[in-house]
Amino acid sequence: MQQKNKENAGSAGTMREELIGTYIKITESKNKDNQNIEGIITDETKNTITIKTKDKTKKIIKDQIISMIQENKGKKTKITGKQIQARPEERIKK
């Protein structure tokens, strides 16, 4: 179930793909209020992601995410907040 997506990993293990529009579930977080939040990423900055859940929209600090599961095109990938810690346009170029 959990696999590393080497095709989309850039230097230092950063994720090189677009995250907006993908479904994620935060499985571990430094902020316990953010654990088990799941939904679609609607926006991303260098330090935050915005997730649209069933009930509301939640802005999460990337550095607080210990692990999350990303679902994209039927593939599940376990990633950390540090792997996505960059501006989206810079991360994709790496």
Q: Which is nearest to 79 in space by CA: 91, 71, 70?
A: 70
Residue 21 forms part of a structural domain: yes
Residue 73 forms part of a structural domain: yes
Instruction: State the CATH number of the domain containing residue 61.
Output: 2.30.30.210
Residue 67, Ramachandran bin (φ over 0: left; ψ between -120 and 50: alpha; else beta): beta
Residue 1 forms part of a structural domain: no
Residue 25 forms part of a structural domain: yes
User: Does the pLDDT value for residue 7 go beyond 50?
Assistant: no
Sheet strands (E) in the chain:
23-29, 38-44, 48-52, 57-61, 65-72, 75-79
For 80-91, the pLDDT digits (tens) are 888 888 887 777
Provide the domain limits for residue 68: 6-93
The answer, as to whether pTM is greater than 0.85, is no
Residue 14 forms part of a structural domain: yes
**Total domain count, the chain:** 1
For 11-29, the pLDDT digits (tens) are 345 566 788 998 999 999 9
